[in-house]
Every structure is written in structure tokens, then in C-alpha cells.
């Protein structure tokens, strides 16, 4: 599982950071940073929740 963020869409609402701070971090520059692009399978539910809850539909999961 690989996390893909479309940074043209991302508006740093930080919803994903609220769900999975281990993977997503919005810093003081107000930009989102992906801390772990390949989170373990045990985090799949949280990753799918992050995809669903992103107000900009900016997050997707690639299977490769």
C-alpha cells in the first residue's frame, strides 16, 4: 500500500493528520508532509478513512 497525495488539490485542512498523525503531518508552514508513504497493512482502515474524509479528495491509495 502506497499513499499518494495530489498536492495540487491538498489545502492542508489537516483532517488526515487527525486520523493518522504517524503518516500525515501538517507543519507550521501549513503544508502537508507524508511521513510514511508505505504504511503497514495494519493501518489500512485508517488510510481508507483518511481517503474518505479528505475534503479535497486529495489522498489515494496505490497498490504496488
Partner 1 sequence: MNSTTVIVGASLAGINAARTLRLGGHTGSIIVVDADPERPYDRPPLSKQMLTGEWEPEKILLPAGKEDLGLDFRLGVRAKAVDLTSRQITLEGAGGLVEDTSFDSLVIASGAAARRLPEAAGIAGIHVVRTLADSLALREELDAGPSRVVVIGAGFIGAEVASSCRKRGLEVTLVEAMPLPLERILGVEMGKVCAQVHIENGVDLRLGTGVLQFETATVDGVERVVGVGLTDGTTVAAEVVVVGIGVTLTTDWLEGSGLTLDDGVVCDNTLLAAPGVVAAGDIARYPSARFGRMLRVEHWETAIAGGEAAARRLLAEASGETPAVFDPIPWFWSDQYDRKIQLAGRPQPTDQCVVVHGSTDEFRFVALYGDGDRLTGVLGMNRPRHVVQLRALFEDGASFAEACERAATL
- Binding residues vs partner 1 (CB under 8 A): 11-15, 17-18, 25-28, 30, 52-53, 55, 57
Smallest separation (angstroms) from partner 1 to the CB of 39? 18
String of DSSP letters for 42-64: GGHHHHHHHHHH-TT--EEEE--
* 11 or 22: CB nearest partner 1: 11
* 36 or 57: CB nearest partner 1: 57
Smallest separation (angstroms) from partner 1 to the CB of 26? 4
Beta-carbon-side half-sphere exposure of residue 48 (alpha carbons within 13 Å): 6
Opening angle at CA 41, ends 48 and 2, nearest 5: 65
Amino acid at each position: 500500500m502506497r499513499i499518494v497525495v495530489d498536492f495540487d488539490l491538498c489545502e492542508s485542512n489537516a483532517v488526515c493528520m487527525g486520523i493518522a498523525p504517524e503518516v500525515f503531518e501538517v507543519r507550521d508552514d501549513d503544508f502537508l508532509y507524508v511521513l510514511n508513504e508505505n504504511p503497514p497493512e495494519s493501518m489500512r482502515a485508517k488510510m481508507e478513512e483518511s481517503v474518505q474524509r479528505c475534503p479535497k479528495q486529495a489522498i489515494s491509495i496505490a497498490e504496488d
